[in-house]
Amino acid sequence: DCPTTESKSVGLRHPIGISCAIPIVLVALFASFARGQQFGETEQLFTGNIDPNSSVYEIEPDGQGRFLVCGVFSTLNGQPRPNVGRINADGTLDPTFSASFGIGGIVWSVAPSPDGGVYVGGVFTTVNGEPRNNFAKLTSTGSLDPFFGSANQPDGDVISLLPQPDGKVLVGGYFTNVSGVVSPNLFRVNMDGSLDQSFRPGTGPDSVVRDMKLHWDDKILIVGSFRFFDGYFRSRIARL
């Protein structure tokens, strides 16, 4: 049976846990009527042969025509890419992005940064051999960004990342503190990775934040397993 209990050590992102996760094959589905291709058919120009050797949990466009992928794999297309990688628009592996020692644990979420870097969140203790707990930033080539807020380390799983138009980043998941500052399940950092003291969600969500999106008016929608936000009843969906 699939586990349904939430755990900081497991960090469930979806109703299924790691033991029930199924490795997926990346495919691109495009409408291409000019070639007589029906919507929903596998795109023939997307090779899809990067062949991750275990589960992929998220794929995100990087804003430059490529895609970021993360999960609990160790190789892509036979090349070492521990838990995070980047693929080109045609589905081939991007050789210019390679985290040398990778990320020492699960990567639940990945998001592009305005400067071409990559935010990663999950359940890990090292990034490219350097200590980083559950949240970090990589450069555009996959190396660890040493200038990004290494002091702000959540004490539990980071499950969702949301870069905002002003360059700040919302971080959601299942944690209690960020480097000693009480920040239950949700916090925000500035462009340099420092904790954004202007973001004051009060007592915040009382349980896991699983995903976040920007609303059309730049307000924030969050979803998860919470029932209350800052003492107000907001069952599993809230708008900030």
Task: Look at residue 42 in the predicted model and tell me its pLDDT.
Answer: 54
Is the per-residue pLDDT at 45 higher than 70? no
Q: What pLDDT, on the 0 to 100 scale, is given for residue 215?
A: 87
Residue 90: strand, helix, or coil: coil
Mean pLDDT (whole number) for 109-122: 95
Among the listed ranges 46-60, 106-120, 204-218, which one has the minimum average pLDDT value?
A: 46-60
How many other CB atoms are there within 10 angstroms of residue 155's CB atom?
15
What is the reported pLDDT for 120? 97
Residue 123, φ and ψ in degrees, nearest 5: -130, 90
- Single pTM value for the model: 0.82
pLDDT > 70? residue 100 = no
Q: What pLDDT was estimated at residue 69?
A: 96
**Single-letter amino acid code for the residue at 148:** F
181 near 195, Cβ under 8 Å? yes
Percentage of residues in the chain having pLDDT higher than 90: 66
Exposure string (b/e) for 15-35, b if CB count within 10 Å is 16 or more? Answer: eebbeebeeeebebeeeeeee
Of 223, 189, 215, give the one whose Cα is nearest residue 113: 189
Which tens digits make up the pLDDT trace of 200-230? 999 999 999 999 999 888 899 999 999 999 9
